[in-house]
Structure 1
Amino acid sequence: MQPDRNAMSDADFAAELRAWLEAVYPPHWRDPVLRLRGRDAEWWYARQWQDGWRAPAWPREHGGLGLSVEKLILYHRVTEDFGIARTLDHGVKQVGPILVQYGTEAQRAACLRPILEGTQTWCQGYSEPGAGSDLAALRTRAEREGDSFRVNGQKIWTTQAEESTHLYFLARTSAAPKKQMGISLFLVRRDAPGITVRPIRNLLGEREFYEVFFDDLLVPADAVVGAVDQGWTVAKALLGHERFAQGSPALARHTYRLLCAMAGPLGAFDDPAFADRIARLGCDLSDADALYAENCAGVASGADLGDSLPIAKLVAAELFQAMTECLQDLAAEARARPGCGVSAARIDEAARVYLMSRPYTIFGGTAEVQRNIMARSLLPLRD
């Protein structure tokens, strides 16, 4: 069992975590925009497990750190400030928590330890053509055949499907009057017969997203998480975790630092229009930080965040995009002024961050969907 770090003072906890990162984290990975993949990600998961820093939110009896909400928030703040690269890590962030809450003992025994060790990696099969933000409209079907389900259908925008060892996905298991009913959540090996993946290149030209096709895939009935036909309950819990994480303005904060670093050599702060623009962005960043801190405090007190999740997700995503648009304007000026003191690498980084920011108002619930959620919840509207 992992040591109990909740008794440590916040200062000692943060110092120990940062000292460990300084000692083991590869310097060339200190880039919040970078996403670790494949063997790099597996090495990092294994090193976290080896040194006792893996799965900070999991209960200690299941191999995690069992951190209190306050310590968990501090953990993420330290790692964000240190600048560690992003990882998908659906095993720790999504699959582990749902198995702790909804899984059987057999499912936990088969999955939790390999996830912690980094030998079992997961991808998510939720979105479909015509069922992205409206996830309950999914059409993948799983029909019962004795002790198994036969699955046919298609998923899309499945991140890192080709390099993951396992897949968790939603499928319709029965007809129901409400489209949110009659859906089940399944676990399966990604290389199981009947699964085919096809890459989709992103704006950066990377093979990051995939289509996943199910053709007469047979899945044992004991691979269903929770009760059959009740997968929407599990899916909603996962989406809540995802949107809470996406409410962090960490990438906007990183981009703001890049903005300030590029603006100096260009003398941009002497331009009143730019000075006003970056001041407004700085104020918006302070507001986003305050909103995220308020949500964190709400989690710590056990409050139902409800409407705050889509608000924070939307604020963080649109602010990140606004920051990268300003950064691109500076990069364009730097390209036109050779010898201005801005390196070619910094200019290329601006382009990379800009392209990376574009999908942030799409995945995890589009900006339009988030606004609809807020309107239904906060305004006196009638259906």
Structure 2
Amino acid sequence: MDLNYSPADEAFRSDIRAWLEASLPHALRDKVLHHKRLNRDDFASWHKLLGARGWSVVAWPKEYGGPGWNATQRHIWDEECSLAGAPSVLPFGVSMVAPVLMKYGSAAQKAHYLPRILDGSDWWCQGYSEPGAGSDLASLRTRADRRGDHYVVNGQKTWTTLGQHADMMFCLVRTDPAAKKQEGISFLLIDMKTPGITVRPIITLDEDHEVNEVFFDDVKVPVENLVGEENRGWTYAKYLLGHERTNIARIGQSKRELVFLKQLALKQTKQGRPLLHDAVFGAKIAALEIELMALEVTVQRVVASETSGRGPGPEASMLKIKGTEVQQALTELMFEAIGPQAAAFDPAFLEGEREHSIAGDDDAAPLAAYYFNFRKTSIYGGSNEIQKNIIAQMILGL
């Protein structure tokens, strides 16, 4: 793969950079760059702005409203958005359920849901994990019993990210309890306003309401909301997880955070010199930057193979492992660079209720919450231990 950008690529980059400079609201940019928390309106307004140009779905083909960009253009877009401080487009609709609908959904499902995902009319959440069925997802117990023209769903999901805002959930349910555990699962689209659904917050260590548990009590779901065939949901789930794990790598975001880390290390001093110039700490940053560069090349290869029509395979597990390791290492080195000041914890400042941190260092104030929040990345999307098993089985043949 030729990793040199062509003149056309560089012109494309210039156009994207100019558009972001003119269109990205400064208040939103500052929230992202300074690690403050984003609310529903922040994500929704940015998605709507992008959707008007078809840029909320940059990996979609033109037939579904995407811009038709190639792998290099999408990589440039991701990098420039991240460096500019643009929020990520939430993946649940755009890059998780949408590819499943495109490949396995009915014509009616595509016609109804895809335009609403593109323009942000529907906010989606993921109904996969359950108590006792996280990494071993095939052990899920939420039931869906067919009764005439609808299913009746009973059970519980957990760790449902931003489910408190969701209009729709794509959900794995057990439709044949007598079948082997991977063979009795179906893929349902559930309206979150349906009677019988209860969403309860889970407040995480950083005092944020990002995840939830969701309960289903005789929830009626129309049969037309079944994606594909009954009891084939495991096939669709694996397809979705491949796309999720590719996106989890977050190359652009990690490159932006590497810049932030270097800036922190320049501000901090050790024995009268910038910490960045300390041999030991500088070596840690250099090693991490090399890891990120190697990861970026691997992402480009995987995305290019998707462009040629081959879906992500076990390589997605490699991206998930290394991507999340790099993200966690970045937060660890930020913490190390700041030292004791990074322990300050100021939720009111993170929520935008206070202009400046009570600790006196606005760059340091978010780092404790940021560090703890990123402990989850090696677990969600299938824990890294599970990804290593996938690689061992599918690549090494063990």
Offset from partner CA, 1:293-343 (integer Å, 9 cap, x none)? 33233334445653322112111111221221121111115579xxxxx96
d(CA) in 2 for partners of 1:335 and 1:134?
35
Q: Offset of 1:263 from its aligned partner?
A: 1.3
Say which SS state the counterpart of residue 193 (structure 2) adopts: coil
d(CA) in 1 for partners of 2:128 and 2:152?
17
d(CA) in 2 for partners of 1:139 and 1:54?
34
Q: 1:240-319, aligned counterparts within 5 Å?
A: 240-265=242-267, 266=269, 267-302=274-309, 305-319=312-326
d(CA) in 2 for partners of 1:268 and 1:277?
11
Offset from partner CA, 1:196-252 (integer Å, 9 cap, x none)? 110001232111101010101111111101111111121111101000111233343
Query: Does 1:353 pair with 2:355?
Result: no
Which amino acid in 2 is paired with 1:295?
V
Which amino acid in 1 is paired with 2:108?
A
Q: 1:181 to 1:112 in 2, by over 3 A?
A: same
Q: Offset of 1:138 from its aligned partner?
A: 0.6
Which amino acid in 2 is paired with 1:22?
E
The residue aligned with 1:40 is 42
Percent identity, aligned pairs only, is 39
Which amino acid in 2 is paired with 1:65?
P
The residue aligned with 2:192 is 190
The residue aligned with 1:370 is 387
Q: Is the Cα–Cα contact under 8 Å of residues 131 and 138 in structure 1 kept in the other structure?
A: yes
Q: Offset of 1:361 from its aligned partner?
A: 0.6
The residue aligned with 1:320 is 327
The residue aligned with 2:151 is 149
Q: Offset of 1:374 from its aligned partner?
A: 2.1
> Greater relative contact order: 1 or 2 (C-alpha under 8 angstroms, separation 6 or more)?
2
Which amino acid in 2 is paired with 1:353?
Y
The residue aligned with 2:27 is 28
The residue aligned with 1:4 is none
Say which SS state the counterpart of residue 204 (structure 1) adopts: coil
Offset from partner CA, 1:110-158 (integer Å, 9 cap, x none)? 3222222222111110111111111111110101111111111100011
Q: 1:343 to 1:94 in 2, by over 3 A?
A: same
Q: Is the Cα–Cα contact under 8 Å of residues 79 and 253 in structure 2 kept in the other structure?
A: no
Q: Offset of 1:28 from its aligned partner?
A: 2.7
Q: 1:236 to 1:176 in 2, by over 3 A?
A: farther
Which amino acid in 2 is paired with 1:23?
A
Q: 1:295 to 1:58 in 2, by over 3 A?
A: closer
Say which SS state the counterpart of residue 12 (structure 1) adopts: helix
Say which SS state the counterpart of residue 76 (structure 2) adopts: helix
Which amino acid in 2 is paired with 1:363?
Y
Q: Is the Cα–Cα contact under 8 Å of residues 172 and 185 in structure 2 kept in the other structure?
A: yes
Q: TM-score, normalised by structure 2?
A: 0.85
Which amino acid in 1 is paired with 2:322?
V
Q: TM-score, normalised by structure 1?
A: 0.88
Offset from partner CA, 1:72-109 (integer Å, 9 cap, x none)? 33322332232312242422222332222222222223
Say which SS state the counterpart of residue 170 (structure 2) adopts: strand
Q: Offset of 1:363 from its aligned partner?
A: 0.4
d(CA) in 1 for partners of 2:97 and 2:37?
20
Structure 1 window deviating more from structure 2 (254-263 vs 28-37): it is 28-37
Q: 1:222 to 1:68 in 2, by over 3 A?
A: same
Q: 1:115 to 1:285 in 2, by over 3 A?
A: closer
d(CA) in 2 for partners of 1:56 and 1:296?
12
RMSD (Å), alpha carbons:
2.4
d(CA) in 1 for partners of 2:397 and 2:225?
43
Q: Is the Cα–Cα contact under 8 Å of residues 185 and 230 in structure 2 kept in the other structure?
A: yes
Q: 1:370 to 1:34 in 2, by over 3 A?
A: farther
